[in-house]
Amino acid sequence: MLNPRQLLPILAISTTGFFCFLFYITNIKEAWRGLPQVIGLGDVIKDESAANSNATATGAAQTANPTPSNKWKSIPHFEHGTGKPIDFNFTKVLVIPHKSDEDVQWIEENLPEYQTAIYVVDNARAPLHPPKNKGHEVMVYLSWIIDNYEKLPDVAMFMHAHRWTWHNNELLDFDAVEIVKRLSPNRVLREGYVNLRCHWDPGCPDWMHPGEVEDDKSKHEQKLLAKAWSELFPMDPIPNVLAQPCCSQFAVSSERIRAIPLQRFVSYRDWLLRTPLPDSLSGRIWEYIWQYVFTGENVVCPNEHVCYCDAYGVCFETHDDFSKWKEDKYNMQGYEYELWDWHEKEELAHKAMVNGEYEQLAQEDLPAPGRDKWLEQEIYTYKQDLIRRRDEAIGRGNDPRKRAEVAGREWREGDWF
């Protein structure tokens, strides 16, 4: 029989083995998150956590951050990037998720020169597909970054599958093709992160309030943001406000992406895969988180006319000139709505006359005689003037000096956009 002294080495070895086992089950068993990631039929990506400290900064004119900065926050400090000369051959990729029944032919027909990564979210047999159809576009955006972290293009554009939509840029005819063609890659390199929408409404300057607990019918995700934030950024204080122009379409430079460790993106996707939140809400939560991930700021609302000028080359002389253009566009739309109402009244009056019920119509239900012609003329006049002023703004945007002047950045002879 062994005496107590003889048992000491055995106990020491057993204790060491026990703690090693604890370390294993608390760390190694979750190590799949650090293993090479294979998404769909995408590429294997190594687990590289080293960040490039020379990433670009947001640099955009924006409202003050209502939440004090925290030196312990998990988002790295970003620095300004620099543009390239006019003859630089930029590499650019469009990352676009879509459902099987959505038509994305417009991309190949109008943007054949662009590299694309088009994911089919509801077809696991497609060449590119996410690990799970959850979180709307967020799952695809994160999966593409994880898959391509080692071989990023100079500029990656993350966009929706529809060509024309209300949340595209009004001055570019709400056309995604125009957004892609006119976007300045140097703006993306300088800023690091560029929201592709210039108009503030909705989203700026004071939009999501993570502290709210009451439901808001226009933004159901708001009351869920505080909990989601604490899970995604446990080291960072919950901000009072989250704001940027809607709606999850943006461009990012390779330097900015690599300034963030790959494992961070893996953890974000892991959250999306695990969260019990429904698909719609988990995706909507990220709509006002992207700007924090890529800029470290909770509010990123660039001046609208600066955004249009420096990013797309649509340069009004001043912010007031741009605001007047928007005001006149609003007035024209008011006349358009009135004209539609006039024609509805006309149709109602015609039906009443056919049915012998015309005398029963109230005076306010009848179309004012000749009002339609006056409205048509006003709409035409407004429209022609708006087009002229927009085209003049585009003409100014062809001058790189003008773009720099509007953006408030230094320009030297020979500099490009």
Half-sphere exposure of 273 (CA within 13 A, CB side): 13
H or E element that contains 242: none
- pLDDT at residue 47 is higher than 90: no
Q: Please, which residues bridge with residue 120 across strands?
A: 98
Residue 267 pLDDT grade (very low, low, confident, very high; cuts 50, 70, 90): very high
Report whether 394 contacts 312 (CB < 8 A).
no
Q: For residue 132, give the DSSP letter.
A: S
Which residue bears the tokens 């976007």? 183
Amino acid at site 248: S
pTM: 0.81
Report whether 132 contacts 273 (CB < 8 A).
yes
The Cα diameter of the chain in Å comes to 116
- pLDDT at residue 45 is higher than 70: no
Q: How far apart are CA 238 and CA 284, in angstroms?
A: 17
- pLDDT at residue 358 is higher than 50: yes
Interval 80-134: pLDDT, tens = 899 999 999 999 999 999 999 999 999 999 999 999 999 999 999 999 999 999 9
Report whether 30 contacts 20 (CB < 8 A).
no
H or E element that contains 118: strand 115-120
Q: How far apart are CA 221 and CA 235, in angstroms?
A: 22
The domain segmentation of the chain, as residue ranges, is 92-302, 319-407
